Amino acid sequence: MPEKAAHIVLARLGSKRLPGKALLPLGERPLLALTVERLRQCEHVDRIILATTTAAEDDKLESFAHEEGIEVFRGSGRDVAGRCLTCALQNRLDWFVRICGDSPFIDPRVVDSVCELYLEERPDVTTNVHPRTFPVGCSVEAVETAALQRLCATTKDMRYREHVTSFFYDHEDMFSIENVAAPDNRFQGENIAVDTQSDYERAQWVYDHLSDPATAPVEEIVKTSNRWGGKDIKED
């Protein structure tokens, strides 16, 4: 019987720094739609589940998921690890790819490279953030559902439960972890996530200046992002 896997995209509208960011417009569609569109290009995992909260304000995200033709799961707002685990268990996932919903420029090639290493080595976690060599906003973690079960059974500390995977990295002796690194530290210190109003304004500018926002690789996105607010934007 084939293994079951999915992208679990974590999003909610109650962000304190940038409320409602997942559904803010980027181009002619919501920001989160670009995340979904780019994940649809991945080769190893083709199922996408939007994991949001049970808060009434996130009814809009459930509607968005239905409109996009993707699955939706609703769970705890603060216990994000618990939300992920319940989502994985209810959907009978053997493993999943954790993606943050504030990553409209996630690169499907990077996602595939993490999945390839996971499928070759079968560790508890395969990541590209331990250590981080890819930009913030291009983070990918392939996680064994059984490993997340162990994590949730081991700690109730909300500092860990809120951030899902940080317990893995702080307790390497308990888990097997493999990392995918970017070549030559080319993305050191780069950030293409959308967490603040300034990030959102940058994302809008970057979106408008990419060759194709749906397919542009992370190298082009970072290069374009570095032009925003700098010496190279006079053509606007």
60-80 average pLDDT score: 98
Cβ–Cβ under 8 Å, residues 53 and 9 = no
Domain boundaries, the chain: 5-191
Report the mean per-residue pLDDT for the chain. Answer: 95
Its pTM stands at 0.95
Give the tens place of pLDDT for each residue, 141-193. 999 999 999 999 999 999 999 999 999 999 999 999 999 999 998 999 999 99
Residues contacting residue 39 through CB under 8 Å, at least 6 positions apart: 7, 9, 48, 99, 106, 108, 111
Q: How confident is the model at residue 1 (pLDDT cuts 50, 70, 90)?
A: low
Burial state string for 175-191 with b = 16 or more CB within 10 A and e = fewer than 16 = bebbbbebeeeebeebe
CA distance 53 to 62: 9
Residue 176, C-beta contacts closer than 8 angstroms, at least 6 positions apart: 123, 124, 125
- CA pair distance 118, 144, nearest whole angstrom: 9
- Domain boundaries 5-191, corresponding CATH code: 3.90.550.10
Short-list 123, 102, 106, CA closest to 214: 106
Segment 116-120 long-range contacts (CB within 8 Å, at least 24 positions apart) = 116/44, 117/142, 117/178, 117/180, 118/142, 118/178, 119/44
Give residue-wise pLDDT tens across range 106-133: 999 999 999 999 999 999 999 999 999 9
Residue 221's contacts (CB-CB under 8 Å, 6 or more residues apart) are 105, 107, 192, 206, 210
Q: How far apart are CA 45 and CA 118, in angstroms?
A: 12
